[in-house]
Amino acid sequence: MKNNFTQALGALFVGTVALVLATSAGAAVLPEDRADILYHSYDGDNVKIDGPSVLVRKNVADTVSVYGNYYVDEVSGASVDVLSYGSPYSEEREQYSVGADYLYDKTMMSASYTNSSENDYEADTYSLSFSQDFFGDLSTLSMGVSYGENIVGQNGDTSFKEYNDQTRYSLGLTQVLTKNLIVALNAESVVDEGYLNNPYRQVRFLTGDGTTSSSKTELYPSTRNSDAYAIKGMYYLPYRASIRADYRLYRDSWGIDADTYELRYIHPLKQVEGLTLELRYRVHDQTQADFYSDLLPFEDATNFYARDKELSTFSTTQLGVGLSYEYKRPWLFVDRTTFNLHYDRLQFDYDNFRDATQSINGNYAVGEEPLFSFDADVVRLFISVFY
């Protein structure tokens, strides 16, 4: 079972598959027939995550589009969390998705099913959504709901089995304000229930005279409600380039507040026909969960306790660059082909999570270790074939 951090990275790559590889042309237009092959790679905090993804989409008649996706995560390494209380590990996660879009006049209805499986975690997710164009196709309203059932296991303990489920609701409005400006408003509410913590993660607490520490398994609440609101805007510049600005506000019942800002610049390069450059900058700031503590003053000092660094106060800065090339000449059954390469550099800085390996190694006293930070590299390479 991945920790929350690697699960979030997995979500990033799945988002790439869903949003970049399988993007619909619009609420009242079926997506194009296409096949996509993605390779993704993450390297940071002594953890490597990589793997392929393949997606195929095909229209049936003029009203239905169906697709299937296969996605793999290969995870190996020893992050600072693992080194604090465990040893390096490796695991594989496979994910299968199938879905269909149905177009009726200006309404698009979509349904999908996803199964994600690893040696100690099984997840099934069912999703329904629809979108509707109105006001002369200048406005698009979208709504969606998904339900996930998850089984949590533990390596080395075949008798361990816990359950959790997640219900997600989404609402969005996209508006063409001028011929050059498009704005989108999105809201999302998520309800998580059941066993929500990681069976491998430990929280540490002071013992004896206060100079040594011991550890025990984390304990989380069994419910979590979260809400997120986002505004996105894209402005098309006179010289064919565009600027995109996003802001996302997140709040949950565990006390976490987060703000995310992102700015992108997309510029077709005149020197090479079909080549487009993308530059992006993203900042994420987050406060800690109410029950987070890097070091408890004594055992059972609080009813719930966690030391997951992704529940601490931290910030992330991301710089990225991407190149896309569109080959428009038809060949055989292919109408056109696009080649895409993206690279991102991420920097993580934690305000109240310390590197416990430094006290384990005897370099620092317990609770006086340096605050943790690290850099990571993310690479995504994908090819899309339209037919």
Say whether 264 sits in a helix, a strand or coil: strand
Is the CB of residue 139 less than 8 Å from the CB of residue 173? yes
Say whether 33 sits in a helix, a strand or coil: coil
Closest residue by Cα to residue 219 from 149, 158, 87, 308: 308
Q: State the pLDDT at residue 361.
A: 86
Angle, vertex CA 229, rays to CA 223 and CA 233, nearest 5: 155
Cite the beta strand spans of the chain per DSSP E.
Answer: 34-44, 47-60, 64-77, 89-104, 107-118, 121-134, 139-152, 162-176, 181-194, 202-207, 212-217, 223-236, 242-252, 257-268, 275-286, 314-327, 336-354, 371-386
User: In whole angstroms, what is the distance from residue 175 CA to residue 236 CA?
Assistant: 14
Say whether 125 sits in a helix, a strand or coil: strand
Q: State the pLDDT at residue 1.
A: 54
pTM of this structure: 0.88
The DSSP annotation for 277-311 comes to EEEEEEEEEEPPPTTB-SSBSSTT-SSSBB--GGG
Residue for token digits 């969606």? 144
Closest residue by Cα to residue 215 from 230, 198, 201, 195: 201
Q: State the pLDDT at residue 250.
A: 98
Is the CB of residue 219 less than 8 Å from the CB of residue 305? yes
Closest residue by Cα to residue 357 from 44, 79, 90: 79
Is the CB of residue 332 less than 8 Å from the CB of residue 376? no
**Could you report the average pLDDT of every consecutive run of 10 residues in the chain (387 residues)?**
46 46 53 96 94 96 94 88 74 95 95 96 97 93 98 91 98 96 98 94 89 92 98 94 97 98 96 94 98 95 95 98 94 92 98 93 92 97 96
